[in-house]
Amino acid sequence: MGKKLFKNLDLFIFDMDGLLFDTETIYVNYGKELAKEAGYIITDEIIEKTTGMTEENVEAVYIRELGKNFPYKELSGKVYKYIIEQAKNGSIPLMTGAEEILQYLHNNDKKMVLATSADSLMANTLIENKGLKKYFSHIITANDVTNGKPNPEVFLTAAEKAGISPEKSAVFEDSFNGIRAAHSAGMYPVMIPDKLQPTDEIKKLVHKKFDNLLEVIELKRLSQFTNMKVTC
């Protein structure tokens, strides 16, 4: 990541779905299953376009792509309810290295903010039931912003709440829209791909790509580039 990057950064912003939690698998698979039962096909292109967007913008894309009769609210409501139920009993798995990197940064007195396109209920239910809330100084959700990704508002709001400038901030993201938003915010976009590998466009915006969050600390890339101590 460059020797000076982590040494000079003061804020680490984390996306949630598909980065910390394996929720994208449920969203995609269960959503596709429900849509198919209703006579519709959700393509990977639609998934790529909508990942990271606010609910309102996601709905607009689905209606545009699948027609005005597509029962978006009904189907998304079913998916939302299912994920909330799974989140409440703690059965949604963390992504590889999620808790390890949060603990690592916490041990090294680094400030962290959660910035997600999910609403406040979903975000808090997920992180509280996995014991992750303690790591974040602030939690920014869809309820706190007007514009969803790729607009940078959610990340700029995170930096403002944390009292740290964008150029001193890194964003961990899995989605194309999240990377676009981080780049537009003037931050350091770090991509951990989930469902989609970066396109040529996204590669130009990404500062660094890792296969998973654990790789960031397993390969000692952070410890080599900073004065941090590895204690996790």
Cis upstream peptide for 150 (omega within 30°): yes
Give the torsion sign (CA, 198, 148, 15, 44). negative
Catalytic residue from among 10, 15, 22, 174: 15
Helix (H, G, I), strand (E, B) or coil at 190: strand
Identify whether 174 is a catalytic site residue.
no
Residue 215, both tokens: 């790789």
Helix (H, G, I), strand (E, B) or coil at 21: strand
Give the torsion sign (CA, 196, 160, 223, 3). positive
Closest CA to 213 of 94, 92, 96: 96
Catalytic residue from among 17, 119, 144, 174: 17
CA distances from 73 to 56, 61, 144, 149 (A): 10, 13, 21, 20
Identify whether 17 is a catalytic site residue.
yes
d(CA 125, CA 39): 32
Residues recognised as catalytic? 15, 17
